[in-house]
């Protein structure tokens, strides 16, 4: 990223032109770093904060859920558009010039840049104080962490910060994840010291976005990825599972998954959450929640019609699924030689649930009846995560974490281990690492 302003403009415009979903061109321009009105005023920082979440929810989220969903075999690319076919093929057939890979990378860079500008400038605005300042700062830390987390999932290495003056340095993905956790820890410290104000809730977060619970949920998620099991459990315990946190949409800012799946018709969901037959359990109510008939055979795969949180222009998308916290705690216990009985109880709370989930996602399955060993229960956690967290952007990472069969020998549960780096990045940045083999 030798010139991040021009680079991000190219990335955003190409995403809009190629994908035509979720590109909100009326949001504040984060590339105008010298714009005093935006970055040095209370109104400008608040507007940029709103624009940050809007851009993430209408553009970056599409890449995080759909592109990673294709690579993690939850979705199937069914269009004849070249980018879609290359993403669907995966393996060595996914070239460095693929537009979706550029879109994924550039959208996360844009989120990071917007977040950084808020974090750099908000404390210097004298009229931005108290709980409004802490809320704005924590909100920016959260979205910076989300962007870093998505880069961690997709690439072997990534930058920890953007640069407006030179080429960024790439760091190993473990450091990328650690940076995301650091942002979340700082955000939590801010809101614990100074709770967000009613003004922040009214003008930035809105009634549907729960900043506090989201921060703890993502800290639990990323600490689990990092193997910090105690921290994962501690953060998951602080999430109120009765509360909803949502990205909301309208006809002017439509649900990006609906737009790409139903309007552009680029993708359709694979049957049985994309799981092998042996890992899918008949009678799971989440199947009919997320997918509807009629199914169809497309190039040898049975694909379905998407439902759940994605089948209308204005359907809200959960920022995190509440029952993810139970599965995080179960997995963390199992990976730290904790109580098998406690882990089993958490799994069964998810399996047998028929009511009470704030989003209406209920498995309605009988209690687990298999072997009560750490190995068997970890496989059960993977199965439950694949259904409960369907199309939440995590299946690809889960397939690696649970050591599921992978490329080049097996493309059933993922068709790449990591994405190659976009040509645009390599041309502008001599620090770009070698591409992964697959």
Per-residue pLDDT of the chain (438 residues; tens, 9 = 90+): 544 443 334 333 333 333 333 333 334 444 444 466 789 999 999 999 999 999 999 999 999 999 999 999 999 999 999 999 999 999 999 999 999 999 999 999 999 999 999 999 999 999 999 999 999 999 999 999 999 999 999 999 999 999 988 899 999 999 999 999 999 999 999 999 999 999 999 999 999 999 999 999 999 999 999 999 999 999 999 999 999 999 999 999 999 999 999 999 999 999 999 999 999 999 999 999 999 976 678 767 888 999 999 999 999 999 999 999 999 999 999 999 999 999 999 999 999 999 999 999 999 999 999 999 999 999 999 999 999 999 999 999 999 999 999 999 999 999 999 999 999 999 999 999 999 999
Cα–Cα distance, 310 to 391 (Å, whole number)? 10
Q: Looking at residue 37, what is its pLDDT?
A: 75
- Give me the residue label for tokens 């109120």: 240
Q: Looking at residue 30, what is its pLDDT?
A: 45
Q: Looking at residue 18, what is its pLDDT?
A: 33
Q: Looking at residue 32, what is its pLDDT?
A: 43
Cα–Cα distance, 215 to 331 (Å, whole number)? 20
Cα–Cα distance, 148 to 176 (Å, whole number)? 6
Element (H, E) at 157: strand 157-158
Domains in the chain and their CATH numbers? 36-247+254-398 (1.25.40.390)
Q: What token pair was written down for 133?
A: 């300042």
Contacts for 123-132: CB closer than 8 Å, 24+ residues apart: 124/40, 125/40, 125/41, 125/42, 125/45, 127/42, 128/42, 128/45, 130/194, 130/197, 131/194, 131/195, 131/196, 131/197, 131/198, 131/199, 131/200, 132/196, 132/197, 132/199, 132/200, 132/203
Cα–chain-centroid distance for residue 48? 21
Cα–Cα distance, 2 to 282 (Å, whole number)? 52
Neighbours of 11 (CB within 10 A): 24
Cα–Cα distance, 83 to 81 (Å, whole number)? 6
Neighbours of 55 (CB within 10 A): 23
Q: Output b/e per residue, 339-365; b: 16+ Cβ within 10 A.
A: ebeebbebbbbbbebeeebbbebbbeb
CB-based contacts of 126: which residues, under 8 Å, 6+ apart? none
């Amino acid at each position: 990223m030798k010139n991040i302003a021009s680079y991000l403009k190219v990335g955003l415009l190409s995403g809009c032109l190629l994908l035509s979903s979720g590109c909100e061109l009326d949001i504040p321009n984060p590339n105008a770093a010298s714009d005093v009105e935006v970055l040095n005023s209370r109104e400008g920082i608040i507007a940029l904060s709103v624009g940050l979440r809007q851009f993430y929810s209408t553009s970056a989220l599409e890449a995080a859920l759909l592109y990673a969903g294709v690579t993690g075999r939850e979705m199937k690319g069914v269009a004849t558009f070249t980018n879609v076919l290359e993403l669907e093929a995966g393996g060595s057939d996914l070239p460095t010039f693929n537009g979706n890979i550029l879109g994924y990378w550039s959208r996360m860079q844009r989120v990071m840049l917007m977040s950084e500008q808020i974090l750099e400038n908000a404390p210097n605005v004298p009229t931005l104080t108290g709980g409004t300042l802490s809320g704005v700062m924590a909100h920016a830390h959260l979205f910076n962490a989300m962007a870093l987390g998505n880069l961690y999932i997709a690439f072997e290495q990534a930058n920890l910060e953007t640069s407006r003056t030179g080429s960024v340095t790439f760091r190993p993905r473990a450091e990328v994840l650690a940076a995301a956790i650091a942002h979340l820890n700082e955000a939590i410290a801010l809101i614990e010291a100074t709770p967000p104000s009613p003004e922040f809730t009214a003008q930035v977060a809105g009634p549907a976005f729960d900043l506090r619970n989201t921060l703890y949920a993502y800290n639990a998620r990323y600490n689990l990825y990092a193997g910090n099991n105690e921290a994962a459990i501690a953060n998951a315990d602080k999430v109120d599972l009765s509360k909803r946190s949502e990205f909301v949409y309208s006809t002017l800012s439509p649900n990006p998954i609906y737009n790409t799946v139903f309007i552009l018709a680029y993708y359709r969901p694979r049957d049985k959450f994309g799981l092998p037959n042996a890992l899918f359990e008949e009678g799971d109510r989440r199947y009919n929640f997320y997918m509807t008939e009629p199914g169809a055979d497309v190039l040898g795969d049975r694909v379905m019609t998407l439902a759940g949180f994605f089948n209308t222009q204005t359907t809200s998308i959960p920022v995190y699924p509440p029952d993810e916290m139970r599965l995080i705690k179960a997995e963390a216990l199992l990976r730290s030689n904790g109580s098998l009985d406690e882990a089993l109880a958490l799994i069964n709370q998810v399996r047998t649930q028929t009511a009470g989930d704030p989003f209406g996602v209920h498995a309605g399955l009988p209690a687990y009846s298999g072997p009560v060993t750490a190995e068997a229960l970890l496989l059960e956690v993977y199965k439950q995560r694949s259904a409960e967290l369907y199309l939440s952007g995590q299946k690809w990472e889960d397939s690696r974490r649970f050591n599921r069969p992978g490329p080049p020998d097996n493309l059933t549960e993922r068709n790449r281990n990591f994405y190659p780096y976009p040509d645009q990045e390599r041309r502008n940045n001599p620090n770009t690492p070698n591409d992964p083999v697959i």
